[in-house]
C-alpha cells in the first residue's frame, strides 16, 4: 500500500521491474469502484512462477495485492 502517492509514478516503476523480470502480463478484469477509484485484475507469468494480482488506485493511494498460483 502506498499512501499519498501518484498512482502513475508507482505503476511506471513497478511496470519496469515486472518487465525486467520477464513476466508476461495478462489482463483479467478492470473497472470502477467509485468515481475516483479503479481496479485491475491481472496475471503475471514467467517460466517458473505464476501470480494472480489486483491493483486498486485512487487519486492519492495505491493498493497492490498478489498471490502465487500453484496447479
CB 22, CB 44: distance < 8 Å: no
User: At 58, is the pLDDT very low, low, confident or very high (cuts 50, 70, 90)?
Assistant: confident
Percent of the chain surpassing pLDDT 90:
42
| pLDDT at residue 71 greater than cutoff 80 | no
* Beta strand segments in the chain, E: 2-3, 24-34, 37-45, 50-58, 61-68
Q: In this structure, is the dihedral angle defined by the CA atoms of residues 7, 55, 45 and 48, taken in order, positive or negative? A: positive
Q: Out of 7-11, 24-28, 32-36, which region has the weakest mean confidence (pLDDT)?
A: 7-11
Place of cell 499519498: 4
Q: What is the mean pLDDT of residues 39-66?
A: 90
Tell me how crowded residue 42 is: count the other CB atoms within 10 A of its CB.
Answer: 17
Cα 67 to chain centroid distance, Å, stands at: 12
User: At 11, is the pLDDT very low, low, confident or very high (cuts 50, 70, 90)?
Assistant: confident
Amino acid at each position: 500500500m502506498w499512501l499519498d502517492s501518484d498512482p502513475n509514478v508507482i505503476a511506471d516503476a513497478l511496470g519496469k521491474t515486472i518487465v525486467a523480470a520477464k513476466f508476461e502480463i495478462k489482463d483479467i478484469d478492470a473497472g470502477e469502484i467509485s468515481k475516483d477509484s479503479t481496479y485491475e485484475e491481472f496475471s503475471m507469468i514467467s517460466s517458473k512462477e505464476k501470480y494472480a494480482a489486483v491493483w486498486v488506485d485512487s487519486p492519492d493511494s495505491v493498493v497492490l495485492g498478489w498471490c502465487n498460483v500453484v496447479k
